Amino acid sequence: MFSIRSTNQQKAVEPVLVRVGRGEAGAMEECIESYGNLVWSITKKYCHNHSDAEDLTQEIFSELWDKADRYDSQRAGESTFIGTLARRRSIDWLRKRGRQPEWEPIAEDIEESQTTNPMNLIDHQLVLDAVETLPTDTRDLFKFHFESGMTHQEIASETGIPLGTIKTRLRKGLLQLRKQLGGQIEPNQ
């Protein structure tokens, strides 16, 4: 009977991350309950948006679940391990966020934005007629790329034409079309 108490007391003192690492039922919920406020306070320092902080907090706990078996109680306390992981992931998130372009919201009146887009003002038959004036090899590449939706690499595999040649011909063709259509087509499209 004494050894049973000793075992129960030992389990009660055992770090929650060790139990999470073993996949013990209920251990992750206990970890979230015990350290949720710590992780939340760290993510809120880095995320000014509530939704982003929630997403980041969830990612951190997912990573904790995956890496809990790496926790060594001889090296650091649980709160230090969890706080360090949360801080590192938050910094990674912030850096990643800084590399992403700023997105503009979609116009509320889509019809209005479509009529102000110069591409929508071009007569499609006029474009098709202009494409017909291109050299045959360029016209064929246009069909592969714009009609079939093939990538440059797919076109190269299909035709045996070098990738650089395909890119050059498509760019020259777009420049020629732009010139014919009065500068209304951008060459990087």
Q: What is the mean pLDDT of the chain?
A: 78
pTM comes to 0.45
Measured between alpha carbons, how far apart are the two ends of the chain, in Å? 78
66-70 long-range contacts (CB < 8 A, ≥24 apart) are 68/17, 68/18, 68/20, 68/21, 68/31, 69/21, 69/22, 70/21
Those residues with Cβ within 8 angstroms of residue 183's Cβ, 6 or more apart along the chain or in another chain = none
pLDDT given for residue 120 in this prediction: 53
The structural domains of the chain, ordered by start, are 13-99 (1.10.1740.10), 118-180 (1.10.10.10)
- pLDDT tens string 66-94: 888 888 778 888 888 888 889 999 998 88
- pLDDT tens string 167-184: 898 888 888 888 887 755
Q: Alpha-carbon distance 17 to 64, whole Å?
A: 8
